[in-house]
Structures are given as structure tokens and as C-alpha cells.
Structure 1
Amino acid sequence: MVHSENNLASDEIRTAFTYNFPLDYLFYARNVTIVGASPNPNFGAGLFISAFRHSNYPNPIYLVNPKYIGKLKDIRGFPLFASISDIPDELDYVICSIKAKLVPDLIRECVSKKVKYVCIFSSGFSELLTPEGERIEQELIEIIRGSQTRIIGPNCLGAMCPKSGLTFNPTYSKRKGNIAFAAQSGGIASNLCEVQPQQSLYYSKGLSFGNQIDLNCLEVLEYYGQDPDTDVIGMYLESTGSADGNAFFKEMRKITKYKPVVIWKGGQTEFGTRAAASHTGAIAGSFNIWKTAVTQAGGTFITKSQEFWDALQLFSRILPTNRFPKGKNMGLIVAGGGASVEMADTFSTMGFKIPELQLNIQRKLGMIFPSVNTSVRNPIDTGAMGTLIDTVIKSIKLMDTDLNLDIIVAFIPINWISIIERTGAQGYVRSVARSLGRMSNKLTKLFVVICPIYEISEFNIKVSLQFKEALWKKYVPHFESITDAATALNHAVQYLRYFQNHR
């Protein structure tokens, strides 16, 4: 919503949320101020303006840049001021996009104005590994000491919340989800927004907090832990920043008794640690110590992006249905002998078991499938009948009655269903996903789908997005490879064991 200079937030907008916690004033900010704004929509502060236009943020947005006073009355429809002191409003959230050497004076002005949160988008601080960069950071800490103003960053993107319209990414999905993330890297925070449709990741809240000189991972973890809109917490960290490490892991131990906490630790090697230092000024700490501490606190320890996305997606689908895998016994269904062998090898290598189905179930499956080019023992090889969704569903329902299974995995390559959709069966893809979803809701066991794309084409990508979205809506986890599925499911089993032992 574009606001005129006199269009301040209405009382109705200002009281739309109950502010019970300090960070509510960030994620449900009643106004946003962007310092360093310019008419250029493709650089710096201009990207934030584009992001808020995309999100239809309903509250006032104020722009600050003395350079344009007398030349422009507004920028892209938003009112322009020479300084934040000139804005006739109490300010909740200020985004700073000016040179590092100018930031201390801005922060002094924010303290005087009693601004609640300042996101310092600017770089040029301790991540430079120079005395001057570190000096400016220390100056900022001293300026806010004892004040009502909190700093996010420096060197970060700030907060996003689909429920309130707060954002930092012009392309993020407005769909509300149950995952809350925090990232020390602005690039990784942006990636988490940009992979949303491909990975079925939808958020309650998100935060990029950079160097963490003030607001830190401990405070964010505490907030996400009590947030009723959040079922799953994911964090990319290079260090604990200004937080006490022991307190951080102690808080994690409390939260993992009722919510999964997924930690992706950056700086795993000598070279990664060096990169982290020049990225956010982080003292990364021992990788092995981090891994042990996270695991002992019940967290899920992650080492790469796809693993992070998969764990978040799996937990976000399991929590609302409370369908955690009770063990590691797998039932596999796939069309093709080679794929069935790969699935069995991959899952067994990861510690899963693939027991033969009970004889009475094998007999019933034998009445469904021909004896040639199929198998009903486990994995089930459906042969050419794998494209007959009713037959696949009937088979999965029989597998669900096997007392020796904990998880059922269907292997459905996108190429197969896209061929049928392309050759005239319009709506087939969504129909298959919805049918699988309806069936999944009636199963007693966790059901997941592996849906790789073997031929990359515009049509197949479109089909893949349609298929994944329909599965997501029915709370069916999906993965792009067998290894991805095995890794994520292993994390889910480990978390359930911790959860059961620490309730």
C-alpha cells in the first residue's frame, strides 16, 4: 500500500497484534523507515522499497535521504524526509543503508528518537578484519548501551514476516507457513526465500542478523520457541555472536522438547572458518564441539543447503500431523528394478531396514500385479503399472497394514507424470498429488514421495512445482533424490528418539 505523507497508521492497524514480547515490535512493526533511500529500484535501499511494494505492507513506510530534499517530494510514492527526527511518528523499525562511517551518527539519532529496532544493512565493520571496522562496531555498542534501541546486524537484511507483510526480499512468497528461520548470512536468508516454491518452504518468520553485535541467536531462539505460529526452527550460524554459547545450547535443550531446532553450522573446515571470519567477523569455533553441543541439546545438525531445506520441509509437514517415523523399517514402492535396487542400497547404507512384507500382504499384492516384471516382496516393483495411480494407492494402503513397517516411500519421477500430462490428460499431475494426499491422511505410517526430475525442461519444471505444491497442501513430504530423502528421514528418526527420551 502506498502512503501519502499524511497517511499515518490507523488505530485499527496499530492494534492488530498484541505485543507481548519485545521482538513483536520487530516482526509486527507498526511502521518501517528506510534510511539511504534512492530512486534506483535495483540497488541497496531500492531493493527494500521494491520488497515492501511486493508484500503490500499495510503500515506507513518512510524514506530518509537529505540528498533528495528539495528535488523530490517522495520516492516511488513513499514520503521522503531529511532525517528520522523529522518523521512525525514513533518508529518501530529502521533499515539503514548508508556508509559505515555515517552509521554511528544515525544510531545516535535513533537512540534519541527511541527507535525500537535498527537493521544495519551496510557493510564495513568487523567482517573487514580491520581495526577501523572493529572500532566502529564497538562505538555502536556503546551508543545503544542503556537505551531502548536494539541493533540487528551490521551486515544483514533484517526481518521478514508474511503475517505482517514485513520483508527484505522482492521475490518472497506471501504464503504463511510454520517454519521460522534465522541466518547469519544475508545470502542464505535470501536463498531461503527464493527456493520456497521448489522446496516447499513457507515461513512464519525469518531474520538475517549478520554480525550479531547486539540482537543475537539466543534471543531469537527464545522468541521462536514461544511463537505459536512456529512449529520448526532453522538457523544458519557461523558463531553465536554476542550471545553466551552455553546459554544458547541450554535454551535449545528446552525448546527441542517440543519443537525441532535445525542448525546449519558454517565454517566446517579451515578454509570455511576463514571465509566466515571475512564474511560476518565470526569466530567460528570448533566444528566438532558445535556438532556435539547441538546433538546433545536435541538439535538437528546440518552441513549443507539441500540437507537444511529438506530437514525443514520434512519437519514442517510432520509436526501438524504428528506422524513421526517410529523406527527405521522402510516400505518402498517404485516402478523399475534398477530404481528399487538403488533405493534399497541407499536407505540400508543410511541405517534403514527394508524387511520383506508379511506373507498375507504379499499374497494380496500378487492379486494386483502380474507375475512378470514386478515384485511384491519389498521393495514393491510395480513395473508398467506404476503410472496407474489407483493401483499404486491400493498397494500403499496394503503396505500400511504391515506391522513391520514404520515409513512408506513412493518413487515417482516427474518425467513419468509429465508425459501423461503432456499427452492430453490435463490436470493429471494435481490429481495424482491430491489422491496421494488424501490417502496419506488416512495412513498410520509416515508417507513420503521422492520425485526427481531427470530431464530438465520448462514443462517438467512447471509440472514439478504443481506436483510439490499439491503434496505440500496435503502434508506429504517430498524429496528430489533418494539420498536427500534418506538423510532427512534419518534426522526425523533421531529427533523422535531424543524427544521420547526427554519429555
Structure 2
Amino acid sequence: MRVATEEPGQPRESVRTGGIQVDHYLRALFAPKSIAIIGVSATSTRSGNEFFGKVRGYGFEGRVYAVGRNGGTVDGEPIYPSVKDLPEVPDLVFGAVGMQATPQAMTEAAAAGVKVGVVFTAGFAEMSDDGARIQRDMVARCNELGMRVVGPNCMGVFSTGSRMNLTDVEHLAPGRIGFVSQSGNIALTLFDNARRHDLGFESFVSFGNQADIPAIDYVEYMGQDDAVDVILLYLESLQEDAGADFIARCRAVAERKPIVAIKGGVTDAGRRAAASHTSRLSAAEDIYDAAFEQAGVVQVRDLDHVMAVAEALLRCPPMKGDNIAIVGSGGGHSTVGTDCVERAGMTVPAFDQELRDTFGQYLPPWAPMSNPVDMTGGFTEDLTLFKTLMRYPLSRPEFHGGLSYGLYGEGWRPGLVDDNGRTFESAAPLLATLQEELGKPIVFYTPFAKEHEEAFTAMRLSGVPCYGSLAEAAAALAALKARGSFLARTEGQEGTGQDQASPSGAGPGYALTEYESLQRVADAGVTTVRQELVTSAEEAVAAGEAIGYPVVLKAQLADVAHKSDVNGVRLGLSSADEVAAAFRQMSAIPGAGPGIACTVSQQIAAERELLLGIRKDATFGHTVVVGIGGVLSEVAARVAVMIPPLDSTEFAHAIENSPVAAYLRAWRGKPAVDLEDLHRQVSALHAMCRADADIESVDINPLTVVGSRLQAVDAAVVLESEPETGDPRSRR
């Protein structure tokens, strides 16, 4: 990779490698030629001294400088009072001084021409408003001088390739994983878990408060690093307005290599904890779910499953379907394994008679052979049975992956040697040869794999993940399915052109009436019910006659969310007398006053009712919700959430993989909802929102379905401020 050079205060040059743009300061972060540790003392064992000794002891081949205001020496090396006093400008500075001294130290480093600084120190925006102000000022000044800032409140950075360890961890096993984490403690947990899976790391960065460099920059850098095969991301929040950029750039990386993410702060209490820790509130869980799905990021919800998923994506090919063959030994484990696999969203279809007959050539008549297969302990005489029996279903196109299982390993039967002289360790790689031959993933479960054993290491290093938990095995297969699905739907497609800037969320806003709202969405291109605005009983009758009975009369009431609660809605009016009487009754609604504005609209006998909404989110810009509408919207809260723009294929995929999918399909003789038309109306609403930055949210509820026709019956548009123009009658 070409490294750009710059003068302090000049605009940063970017480099492009493999189609991915990466600012060159990240090269200085992960592969520096020189490092300065700020906070070293000749007379004490401060944290700066620990990092100075660690980075030198780990074998860093570049120059390491000690910086401390009192000077002196440490380990025979001089301590310089300031970065500006060093004999050269280091690529990277690491700040380990107190919160009060940090801004000046970082600013001096920036003024000296340093490219990037890591602020290990806590006590900034995560602690107080005053800390947030100090953090903003420090970052702004460093940026003006041409330096980027990692942190504050972070654990540091690690790079195997550079033999650099600027973290609290004494030793990190080398490997093919890149790890980007907002939390230091989560990182420590996953480092420990990685050892159980025989995994290691190429690079790691903890970004803490994310005051300057966005998380996606680190992900993108690791995406172009050929030494990284899988990227892990622990995320609590993104910077404001960063959502669309995050999706677009993650997607570009995910097309080349897997990204595994776990999101912290998805519940209300979790978001409060994340805010106190990183100073940012998280977006709603369903919005992040949609963002990860659209970006091709494999999301993991259980911290204990993260490394299991990473292992599968690192060792196995992606899975091209849902059907799993389960072949192993142990009736109870086969049953629980089947449950785990199907709960994780895959299927375990029964084997046909031909397969069962084939298994019968190897197994006794009482052995279950219909999927799952239980070889009832027969592998102890022939350890190749795991491979032999798995070959038959996986050789068929209708099966896409395999789960093998058994009481395998020395923890169960020490010193086992089968009839062919094979041991657990020597037989362990056999399944990997089948996986490589067929191009279909296989994972293995044994309860003894929770402990380290050479046989399990041999199996993993050959290419087959080995898990001590059936839940881990199922999560791994689900991740391989998600990876395969993403690659299949993006193959040969252009990017969706995600916007690089997104609008921020707003306050409570100014709600338009239903009449005004429906006019807005109709003008945008959404198909709406015919409606007439009236202010007298005579006008109401004339509108009813023109539209055709039956009609609906609705009062246009400001600041009333549910008009039916105040008798402001009358359905099924089938004559002039009924319309006139209903209008007079609405004129008596408390606070309505004389000359109340009402709408008269045609009544739709809907077969289904949908909810369609678009809202601004401070992180991701516009977000779309499609769900069950009408009177069921609050009690049957099934929705699909997505982040536009999406093409029709992506839109259909989001719907089909959401809780609302079954409601939109054909059922009870009714045709499926026209997803092409629904996508058109979503796109029209999104275009309307983009064209008018004052629109805070749009809700259409219900969007009625009659046959294949979609028609908006009720709408609510909320603006950030009161419009200057409008029909004054509709606001009475």
C-alpha cells in the first residue's frame, strides 16, 4: 500500500487499495515506524512506563521514544519533555497521562506533525458534559493540525505484523482475525474465548468514545489487509449521521471478507449503559438489525457465540441453503442438536429411503437413520464413519451443510485406537477433506471440546470447527447461511448508492392533519383514497353524493392521535341524512367549535391493512417500517425495518426475512401483496422525505390491500416546524 505524506495542517490525502479508500493515518496506527509513549517517568511506575516497556519487550522493530515532562532516563533511554523535543516526528503517539494533561500533550504532538494519537486516558465525554466539551476541543485542535485521534477512554492498539502491542493484554496469539471494539472488557473476554477455539489475531483496536475516527474506518482498513480473513466488530453506537456511510462501506468490505458484529446497548437499559460508557445513545435494535442485514454483516446476539461464528466463517465455505444433515453418535445429542439447528432458522429434512438403506449397510437395524443419524457408538471401531456417513447426504444438492457430533476425544475414552489404528487426533482431519471436496460446510460438536485437546486442535486447523456447545454449532451454521445468502444476492450487483450524508433526528415536531398528510403523500406518488374537505353539513352531503356511498366522515382535529377516542370517526355512512347527522354530532366534540373541518372519503373494504412509515434517525437517516396495520398495529407488532435506498430485490429480501413476511404472502384465497408496488410507494415516500428536509416522519396506517391494489386511507406527517402555507380550514 502506498503511504501518503503531508505537512501539518494540510488536508489529508487518501489512498485506494483493492477498490477500498483508506486514509493513510491508519497505516501509521497499525504499522508505525516510530512510536512515542507520553506519560513516562524516571521515578515511578506509571502506566506510561508499563506501555513503554511492553511495546519494546514485544519486539517492535521501530524506534520507541519515552516522553515525560520531568525528563530523566528509563531503561537506559532518555525521556524527552515533549514530543516536539524528539529527534524525529513519530508516526504514532500513545497518551497515558491524566485527563487534565492530555489535551495539551495531544495538541503538542499534532503541532509536531504526528499523524495519529491514541488517548488511553478516560474521564472525558463518558463522564460529564464538561468532559465532553474538553474532548471536542481537543479533537478539533488536533484535526486542525492534521492529526487524528483514537479514543479517548480506549484500550489501545495491537498489530501482529508490526510486532506492536499497545494494550493491557500481555500476549495475543497471532492469527487471521482483525478486531475492532468499542469496549476494552469485551475485547478481553473475546481474547480469552479465542484460545479455546485455536484462533488468533492479526490486528486489534479499541476506539472507546469514538470522538474522532469512526468505527467504519478501522473496519475498512482491515478489509484491505490481506493478513486479515475475518473482521470482528463490537459496537455500542455510531457517530451521528454516520449510518448510511457505515452501511455502504461495510457492504463493500463484506463482499470481500466476512464481518461479524455484536451490538451492545439494544435494550432501553442497555442503551443507558452504553451512553454512560461511550457518551452516545444507541439507535433502536431493529434499525441496527436492518443496517447489519443490508450491509452483509453477520450479527451475533450472544457474546458466548462470537468466536464460534468467527471460527466457522474463517474455516468453512459459505452455505448456499438451509438444509442441514446431522450425522453422529448419541441419541440425546442428536435430538437437542436438531432443535438448536431449527431454532437458528435452518431445517433438518428427513432422509429418503435410499439414504436410509445406504446407512443400513454400516449401522445396526436399531440405529436411527432418518436425519439425524445416530451411529450408536459404532465409530469406536471405525473413526472414519463420521466422514463416510456424512458424505452420502452432503453429496446431494438438496443438502447444504452438516453437523457431526459424538462423545469424541480423550476426555471420554483415553487412548482409544480403532480397528484401523486411528486415534482421535489422527482421525480428526478426515471431515475437512470431505468439506474441501464438496464445498459444503461441516461443523462438529463434542461436549469435551470446552477443554483444550490436541484432537480438537487438529480438527480445527484442518478446517472443521469443533464446538463444546450445540448452541454454538447452530449459531455457526446460521452464520454460514447468512454469509452465503448475502454473497448470493450481491453477486453481479452494483452498490445501492447509499447516501454519504443523512439527516439528523428532530424533536416532537408539528403534526399535519390527516387531510394535509394524505395530500402530501398523494402528491409524492402514493395511491390514496379519494377524500373531500368540508366545513358544513351541506358540503359533507355533496361530497358523499359525489364520492358514492358508503363513505367515512372524519373530524380534522389538531393534537388528537386517535380521533375515534373522541367520536371523531363515523364509518359506513350510506345516505345523505346519515352524513348530515354525523357532521352535526362532530360539531359538538368538545373544543371543535362551529365550522369544524371534516373529511369525507370512500370506505374501503380492505382484505388486509398494512402500516407504512418513514422516520428520521440521528445515526442512519431515513428508516422504513412496513408492518401489520389498522387496529392490529399496536397489538400485533410485526414489522420489517429497512434503511433506504434499496432496489426492488433488496426490498423483497428484507420483507421475506422479516416477521411480517407471512402476512404479506398469499393466504386464504387472497393473492400476495404486490411487493413491486409496495416498493414503489416506499420509494415515493423516501423521495418526498429527502426532498423536504423539514419532514420528520410519515406514517400511513392503514395502507389497505384489495386484490393487488394498495391504497392509503389514513396518513400522519410530522414536520420539524410549522409550515408557512396550507389549507387553514383543515386546522380548525
TM-score of the aligned structures, taking structure 1 as reference length: 0.84
**Does the C-alpha gap of structure 1 residues 471 and 148 become closer, same or farther in structure 2, counting only changes over 3 Å?**
farther
Alignment pair present for 1:476 and 2:452: no
Q: Is the 8 A contact 1:235 1:263 kept in 2?
A: yes
2:32 partner SS: coil
What's 2:505 paired with? none
What's 2:369 paired with? 376
1:249 partner SS: helix
Q: Is the 8 A contact 1:40 1:46 kept in 2?
A: no
419-428 or 234-243, which moves further after superposition? 419-428
Q: Is the 8 A contact 2:313 2:479 kept in 1?
A: no
Structure 2 counterparts to residues 66-465 of structure 1, below 5 A: 66-67=69-70, 69-70=71-72, 73-75=73-75, 79-128=78-127, 130-167=128-165, 168-177=167-176, 179-241=177-239, 244-318=242-316, 323-372=317-366, 374-387=367-380, 388-413=382-407, 416-421=409-414, 428-453=423-448, 461-463=451-453
Larger RCO (CA within 8 A; separation ≥ 6): 1
What's 1:9 paired with? none
Distance in 2, matches of 1:409 and 1:446, equals 9
Question: Match for 2:35 among 22, 29, 32?
Answer: 32
The offset of 1:383, in angstroms, is 1.0
TM-score of the aligned structures, taking structure 2 as reference length: 0.59
2:314 partner SS: helix
- Unpaired segments of 5 or more residues in structure 2? 1-21, 492-732
Q: Is the 8 A contact 2:52 2:66 kept in 1?
A: no
Q: Is the 8 A contact 2:41 2:74 kept in 1?
A: no
Distance in 2, matches of 1:20 and 1:217, equals 13
1:61 partner SS: strand
Q: Is the 8 A contact 1:41 1:47 kept in 2?
A: no
Q: Is the 8 A contact 1:65 1:82 kept in 2?
A: yes
Distance in 1, matches of 2:286 and 2:217, equals 24
What's 2:592 paired with? none
Structure number with larger C-alpha Rg: 2
103-112 or 443-452, which moves further after superposition? 443-452
Distance in 1, matches of 2:416 and 2:324, equals 34
What's 2:711 paired with? none
Question: Match for 2:51 among 48, 72, 75?
Answer: 48
339-348 or 394-403, which moves further after superposition? 394-403
The offset of 1:350, in angstroms, is 2.8
1:206 partner SS: strand
The offset of 1:80, in angstroms, is 3.2
| Seq. identity, % | 25
Distance in 1, matches of 2:193 and 2:41, equals 28
**Does the C-alpha gap of structure 1 residues 192 and 397 become closer, same or farther in structure 2, counting only changes over 3 Å?**
same
Task: Kindly provide the CA deviation profile for residues 109-139 of structure 1, in whole angstroms up to 9, marking residues without a partner as x.
Answer: 10122111110000010000x2321121022
Distance in 1, matches of 2:92 and 2:192, equals 24
1:433 maps to a residue whose letter is A
Distance in 1, matches of 2:474 and 2:455, equals 20
Distance in 2, matches of 1:20 and 1:247, equals 15
**Does the C-alpha gap of structure 1 residues 192 and 462 become closer, same or farther in structure 2, counting only changes over 3 Å?**
closer
Alignment pair present for 1:61 and 2:82: no
When you count helix as a share of all residues, which structure comes out higher?
A: 1
238-247 or 132-141, which moves further after superposition? 238-247
Distance in 2, matches of 1:191 and 1:47, equals 22
Q: Is the 8 A contact 2:443 2:477 kept in 1?
A: no
Q: Is the 8 A contact 1:437 1:475 kept in 2?
A: yes
Distance in 2, matches of 1:443 and 1:211, equals 45
2:160 maps to a residue whose letter is P
The offset of 1:211, in angstroms, is 0.7
Q: Is the 8 A contact 2:196 2:452 kept in 1?
A: no
156-165 or 386-395, which moves further after superposition? 386-395
Alignment pair present for 1:496 and 2:484: yes
Distance in 2, matches of 1:496 and 1:41, equals 54
When you count strand as a share of all residues, which structure comes out higher?
A: 2
Q: Is the 8 A contact 2:251 2:295 kept in 1?
A: yes
Task: Kindly provide the CA deviation profile for residues 63-111 of structure 1, in whole angstroms up to 9, marking residues without a partner as x.
Answer: 22244x44xx323x65533332332122011111111110111012101
The alignment of Structure 1 onto Structure 2 pairs a total of residues equal to 466
**Does the C-alpha gap of structure 1 residues 115 and 285 become closer, same or farther in structure 2, counting only changes over 3 Å?**
same
**Does the C-alpha gap of structure 1 residues 348 and 218 become closer, same or farther in structure 2, counting only changes over 3 Å?**
closer
